[in-house]
């Protein structure tokens, strides 16, 4: 199922910081800066897209764990990008190194775990 997923596969996802992704709007803080949950969602998006084309038809990946620092703020209007790179493939478990930047400035870095699942089977568990 994951034969086409190789260590080193990577993807970069980007966003511009807007009011919608600030700590105020997301309820994670009270300042108009990029929210930590938004930064982590961008990292997760990069990981999802890094392996999307390598997945069998009818499959997707779902997040299982994400750990990251968030060491620098980003203001409204800043362009932010996240890079995810596959570091380990263990059956349906895919591990990634993730990092977010604004220009050359590291905003945060960590690790992310995703699981490859059959979409239909996964959704059927919701009842």
Give the mean pLDDT of 69-75. Answer: 98
pLDDT at 1: 66
pLDDT of 55 strictly over 70: yes
Looking at residue 35, its pLDDT comes to: 98
CA–CA distance, 117 with 42 (Å, rounded to integer): 21
What does pTM read for this prediction?
0.96
């Amino acid at each position: 199922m994951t034969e086409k997923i190789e260590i080193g596969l990577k993807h970069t996802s980007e966003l511009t910081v807007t009011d919608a992704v600030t700590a105020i709007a997301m309820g994670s803080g009270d300042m108009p800066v990029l929210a930590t949950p938004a930064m982590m969602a961008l990292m997760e998006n990069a990981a999802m897209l890094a392996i999307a084309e390598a997945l069998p038809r009818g499959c997707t990946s779902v997040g299982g764990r994400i750990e990251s620092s968030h060491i620098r703020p980003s203001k409204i209007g800043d362009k932010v990008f996240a890079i995810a790179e596959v570091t380990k493939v263990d059956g349906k478990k895919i591990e990634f190194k993730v990092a977010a930047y604004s220009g050359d400035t590291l905003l945060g870095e960590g690790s992310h775990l995703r699981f490859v699942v059959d979409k239909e089977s996964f959704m059927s568990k919701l009842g």
